[in-house]
Amino acid sequence: MKKKYTYLVVIFLIITSCAAFGRIAGNGFINCDDNEYIVENSHIQSGFDSQTIKWATTAVVQGCWHPLTMLSHMLDWSLFGANASGHHLVSLLLHIGAVIFLFLFLNKTTNNIWPSAFAAALFALHPLRVESVAWASERKDVLSMFFAMACLYAYAFYAEKAKLSKYLLCLILFALALMSKPMMVTLPFVLMLLDYWPLGRWQKALTPVKVPIAPSERAKEKKISMPLTSRFQIIRSLLWEKAPFIFLAFIFSIVTLWSQNKDKMIISTDKLPFLECFRNAIVSYVAYLGKIFWPVNLAVFYPFELHLPIWKILISGIIIIIITIAVIYYIKKLPFLFVGWFWYLGTLFPVIGLVKFGIHAIADRYTYMPSIGIVMMLVWGILSLIKSENIRKKILFPAGIAFLAILAVLTWQQSGYWKNSLTLFSHALQITKNNYLADSHVAEALLAEGKNEEAIDYHNKAISITPDNPMPYFHRGVVYSKLGQYQRAIEDFNKAINLKPDYAKPYNNRAFVYTKLSQYQRAIEDLNKAINLEPNYANAYFNRGIAYYKLGQYQLAIEDFSKAIHLKEDYAIAYNNRAAIYLEQGNKELGCRDAQKACALGQCNKIEAARVKEYCR
């Protein structure tokens, strides 16, 4: 009978998750990270071969090394191409898989199916999950969570009966989670918490045991504490078995810091003092709690607020201290409160902002793993308060279903905001203040629709909010160059370069404008700088090839077009331009081959012109 209910719960979790998140199937990619990860990533779009697999296992993308995530994007592209629906649905399936593993773990370890089912459903349907599930670039969230929850479920079997095969399975799943997203470095800490509750492994060392007073008086027993040596052995074994997990976590932490620093994602203390980060961390712990219990006004980006009010910092700190003291005080009576609270604190720690990896204050996606701790506190806390089975059936059960329905509706609504870039970032502007990043992305979305003047207005807003930020100047310069306002474009690119001299894109785009103005030598100088800063910058090689071609330096132009093609195999216009040079030099074989390749990629003007002149068949 229990197995029957287990199946019913799994079906319920699948159906409700699909209903709540189903509209993401109609959403597209967005212009934040999706370009770098998927839409404009030639490695992802090249399919599986030795070169792309090597790239996926070695590349640092957006400051992260997560090879499994990049391989999953490759698989998606090979199956669905540019159809975003397929990418989103795979993310939803991974989320559902993580939810099912969470339910199975809780059910197995607590032996209480309905609280486990409600906890899994509460986690699954919460609106804070939308960012992780609906954002294609956040595949790393759902993929890492899938492996992490599978690891917990495998660990429950290992804790029940220790076997090397079960242990190795846990370790492998943990490694896969880390290779999907390094935030999972806190999983060994979670395992130690779970050893206390619900697995009860620590109690063997900490709880007195009953023993007979004497052989002749077996009916009488008394409690005695376990000898210190035996306690120490149990504690040592519990800690020692986590050593390989901790070692992996340490290695991945070092790799993450290295990769974030390599991509210049870590904000230095010169720009953002540690004290400000510490204050933001305290407030963020409570802010995330607020969003878990009141999930409204959720945005894709929350601007970092410097100089937080002292009252907000003090109140947040007091809340954290009071809850911490309370859960420690009730650790024996209500162990799930202790485990859930420290699960929340511990798993949020890597992204709480003490080391700043971005310009945001908080992010909804960061609650993915930590919120499970709060869910456990809430569900088992309510059960400890309401012990009457009659009240549970007649009041608690229908109230719980109604609450889940409300969450599902909010999640369905939140999923709609991710329809496209314009909808998403316009919504962010409505519910946040001074959101310069949202202004910039709305501008990019308007630019893609040909609404250039409106795009400039939004870039102007972003610049007025953060005048020392190079990005809005760069993007406004791009718009001006599209409008043919070259002098204004150069001024904006100059400003971006002055603010961030190691930023390659403004050099490349300023060179493009110089080429339009026939200032080819200045363009080459800028492109040399861009390539020195970013050696794998395909567009910079292409633009330098154009400049060399205009100067009549054909061999150098061919070399640059070849380098651009090597870096971006579907670079149709680079094939076209190289074909033009070959044909001008009388090399019909190479010229026709390149022109045909360009046509196969969608650029057929050169092969058609060559056929008219009877250069190519």
pLDDT digits (tens, 9 = 90+) for 161-212: 999 999 999 999 999 999 999 999 999 999 999 999 999 998 766 665 555 5
pLDDT band at 382 (very low <50, low <70, confident <90, very high): very high
The pLDDT assigned to 337 comes to: 98
For the residues of 478-510, what is the DSSP string, one character each? HHHHHTT-HHHHHHHHHHHHHH-TT-HHHHHHH
The pLDDT assigned to 116 comes to: 97
Q: How far apart are CA 33 and CA 162, in angstroms?
A: 43
When pLDDT is averaged across residues 397-410 and rounded to a whole number, the result is 96
The pLDDT assigned to 203 comes to: 78
The pLDDT assigned to 541 comes to: 96
Alpha helices in 47-138 (DSSP H): 50-58, 67-80, 84-110, 113-125, 130-134
- 55's tokens: 């790239």
Tens digit of each residue's pLDDT (9 = 90 or more) over 534-563: 998 999 999 999 999 999 999 999 999 999
Q: Which of 210-214, 256-260, 501-505 shows the highest mean pLDDT?
A: 501-505
CB-CB contact of 415 with 130 (8 Å):
yes
The pLDDT assigned to 261 comes to: 79
CB-CB contact of 606 with 595 (8 Å):
yes
pLDDT > 90: what percent of the chain? 77
Q: Which amino acid is at 557?
A: A
When pLDDT is averaged across residues 129-142 and rounded to a whole number, the result is 98
Across the chain, what does the average pLDDT equal? 92
pLDDT band at 151 (very low <50, low <70, confident <90, very high): very high
CB-CB contact of 6 with 107 (8 Å):
yes
Rg (CA), the chain: 29
pLDDT at residue 227 greater than cutoff 60: yes
Q: Which residue has the tokens 């690891």?
A: 151
Can you give the pTM of this predicted structure? 0.91
When pLDDT is averaged across residues 10-36 and rounded to a whole number, the result is 96
pLDDT band at 270 (very low <50, low <70, confident <90, very high): low
The ranges assigned to domains in the chain are 2-213+226-416
Tens digit of each residue's pLDDT (9 = 90 or more) over 73-85: 999 999 999 999 9
Work out the angle at residue 525's Cα, subtended by the Cα atoms of residues 520 and 526, and round it to the nearest 5 degrees: 95
pLDDT band at 48 (very low <50, low <70, confident <90, very high): confident
The pLDDT assigned to 496 comes to: 97
Chain centroid to CA 492 = 31
- Which residue would you say has higher pLDDT here, 252 or 611? 252
61 bridge partner residues: 64
Work out the angle at residue 500's Cα, subtended by the Cα atoms of residues 569 and 299, and round it to the nearest 5 degrees: 80
Least confident of 16-20, 70-74, 237-241, 413-417: 237-241
- 584's tokens: 């001008």
Q: How far apart are CA 477 and CA 510, in angstroms?
A: 9
Three-state secondary-structure class, residue 221: strand
Q: How far apart are CA 598 and CA 617, in angstroms?
A: 15
CB-CB contact of 575 with 565 (8 Å):
yes
Q: Which of 40-44, 294-298, 359-363 shows the highest mean pLDDT?
A: 294-298
- The 3-class secondary structure across 327-382, one letter per residue, is HHHCCCCCHHHHHHHHHHHHHHHHHCCCCCCCCECCCHHHHCCCHHHHHHHHHHHH
pLDDT at residue 502 greater than cutoff 80: yes
- 559's tokens: 């070399």
Residue 8: left if φ>0, alpha if ψ -120 to 50, beta else—which one? alpha
- 288's tokens: 């995330």
Tens digit of each residue's pLDDT (9 = 90 or more) over 574-608: 999 999 999 988 898 898 999 899 898 888 988 88
Q: Give the count of beta carbons closer than 10 Å to the beta carbon of residue 38.
A: 22
Question: Which CA distances in Å does 475 have to 8, 37, 106, 503?
Answer: 52, 19, 49, 13
CB-CB contact of 66 with 182 (8 Å):
yes
CB-CB contact of 497 with 503 (8 Å):
yes
CB within 8 A of 139, min separation 6: which ones? Answer: 37, 69, 72, 73, 76, 87, 90, 91, 94
